[in-house]
């Protein structure tokens, strides 16, 4: 583990962005920001004139990339996703599963366990847990999820979802499925992140889920009822409930740019996380791909399945960051949404998600044109 000094960069700190500043890294951690030792005392000095250093991005909703589908992958495939994600500035991620058979769930959880061993000490996006998108979702709001694998909850089914040996467990659920509110309570009791989504629950049901411990919402606006001035819908409930946070796909396709601006301003950037919701074809260009038992077509950066639904995105966290900058969010606000808030959601904000002495040196350097020039994961440079 080497000592590195990043110098002459604009550095996005939790409370401000400082121009032409330095960061000192030692043993995989940030040791100081601003006041750093002489260049000669570092093994490596990186001059970053004209660049901005953000905390590494944290993606809590990712189905794969670079041709690899998380549901279908083995540990080596997942490692390729993790390499690709690091090249786009992601330093931590949650492999995200669409509803599947119990057998395949068991298999893939074993592969994520193995990934967690493989990734140790490598400069790739670090998988920190698993996100089950469903199986407790509303069939009418299924989007690209396969309803044949959906479950109801009568007190037992949570134990049917296999667990990782270590890591964060998150699930997206609809409060109105049978037993949904009891499920929210059980998830919370067992330390899961209970995230409301794929839902058309009414306000009373959402309030009940909130009271039971659900504090987050999945891909805001997508696969939920929208805002109407005589019916607030799931989205209006999420915007007005101050205790709930949400994540949102900032690709400009799932939610148009003006609506991203409107929703994230209304919610405030302190309560929003950006997600990619990316799927296997991400990074592969346009074409036809087999995914989740269907043919997915990617045309001009949009996915569509045979039922006409959008089937996840082919965007990256970097695309989301660019989008949010383009609609007027400051770098500090963008860092909160891309890094700090998702790290807090996952409970790993003591280790990563902001540029502060003592945290992991998880950093992404963006040049003046908005491209990633380098990603640093726990003090090591990721491959470009």
Name the site residues for Zn ion (rule: CB under 5 A).
133, 277
Residue whose beta carbon is closest to Zn ion: 277
The shares of helix, strand and coil residues in the chain, as percent rounded to the nearest 5, are: 30, 30, 40
Quick one: 13 or 135, whose CB is closer to Zn ion? 135
CA distance 116 to 181: 32
**Largest Cα span, the chain:** 65
> At a CB cut-off of 8 Å and minimum separation 6, what does 86 contact?
123, 124, 125, 375, 377, 382, 383
- Contact predicate 145/133, CB 8 Å: yes
**Alpha carbon of 327 to those of 133, 323, 340: distances in Å?**
29, 6, 20
Quick one: 132 or 153, whose CB is closer to Zn ion? 132
Quick one: 277 or 319, whose CB is closer to Zn ion? 277
What does the DSSP 8-state code read for residue 285? -
CB of 93 to Zn ion, least distance (A): 13
CA 372 to chain CA centroid, nearest Å? 18
CA distance 342 to 345: 5
CB of 81 to Zn ion, least distance (A): 14
- Contact predicate 363/90, CB 8 Å: no
**Alpha carbon of 166 to those of 113, 127, 129, 163, 169: distances in Å?**
8, 11, 7, 8, 9
Quick one: 64 or 123, whose CB is closer to Zn ion? 64
Q: Which residues of 27-61 are buried (b: 16+ CB within 10 A; e: fewer)?
A: ebbbeebeebeeeeebeebbebeebbbbbbbbbbb
- Contact predicate 190/225, CB 8 Å: no
Active site residues: 277
CA distance 275 to 379: 24
Quick one: 232 or 279, whose CB is closer to Zn ion? 279
Task: Assign 164 to helix, strand or coil.
Answer: coil
Quick one: 55 or 129, whose CB is closer to Zn ion? 129
CB of 94 to Zn ion, least distance (A): 11
- Contact predicate 198/137, CB 8 Å: yes
- Which residue's entry shows tokens 């790739």? 124
CA distance 250 to 136: 25
């Amino acid at each position: 583990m080497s000592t590195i000094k990043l110098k002459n960069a604009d550095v996005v700190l939790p409370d401000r962005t400082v121009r032409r500043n330095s960061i000192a890294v030692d043993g995989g951690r940030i040791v100081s920001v601003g006041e750093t030792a002489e260049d000669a005392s570092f093994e490596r000095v990186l001059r970053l004139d004209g660049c901005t250093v953000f905390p590494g991005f944290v993606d809590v909703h990712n189905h794969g990339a670079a041709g690899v589908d998380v549901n279908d992958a083995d540990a080596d495939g997942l490692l390729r996703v993790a390499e690709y994600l690091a090249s786009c500035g992601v330093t931590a991620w949650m492999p995200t599963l669409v509803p599947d058979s119990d057998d395949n769930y068991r298999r893939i959880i074993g592969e994520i366990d193995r990934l967690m061993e493989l990734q140790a000490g490598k400069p790739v996006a670090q998988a920190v847990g698993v996100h089950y998108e469903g199986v407790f979702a509303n069939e009418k709001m299924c989007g690209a999820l396969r309803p044949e694998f959906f479950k109801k909850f009568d007190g037992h089914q949570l134990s049917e979802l296999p667990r990782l040996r270590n890591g964060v467990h998150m699930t997206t659920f609809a409060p109105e499925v049978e037993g949904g509110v009891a499920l929210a309570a059980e998830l919370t009791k067992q330390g899961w992140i209970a995230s409301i989504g794929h839902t058309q629950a009414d306000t009373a049901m959402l309030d009940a889920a909130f009271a039971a411990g659900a504090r987050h919402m999945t891909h805001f606006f997508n696969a939920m009822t929208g805002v109407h001035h005589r019916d607030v819908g799931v989205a209006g409930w999420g915007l007005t409930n101050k205790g709930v946070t949400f994540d949102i796909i900032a690709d400009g396709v799932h939610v148009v740019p003006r609506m991203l601006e409107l929703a994230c301003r209304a919610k405030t950037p302190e309560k929003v996380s950006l997600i990619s919701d990316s799927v296997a074809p991400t990074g592969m260009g346009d074409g036809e791909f087999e995914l989740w038992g269907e043919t997915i077509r990617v045309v001009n950066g949009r996915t569509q399945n045979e039922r006409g639904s959008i089937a996840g995105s082919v965007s990256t966290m970097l695309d989301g960051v660019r989008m949010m900058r383009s609609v007027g969010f400051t770098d500090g606000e963008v860092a909160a949404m891309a890094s700090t808030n998702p790290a807090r959601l996952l409970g790993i904000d003591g280790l990563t998600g902001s540029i502060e002495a003592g945290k992991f040196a998880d950093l992404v350097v963006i040049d003046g044109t908005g491209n990633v020039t380098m990603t640093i994961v726990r003090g090591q440079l990721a491959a470009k």
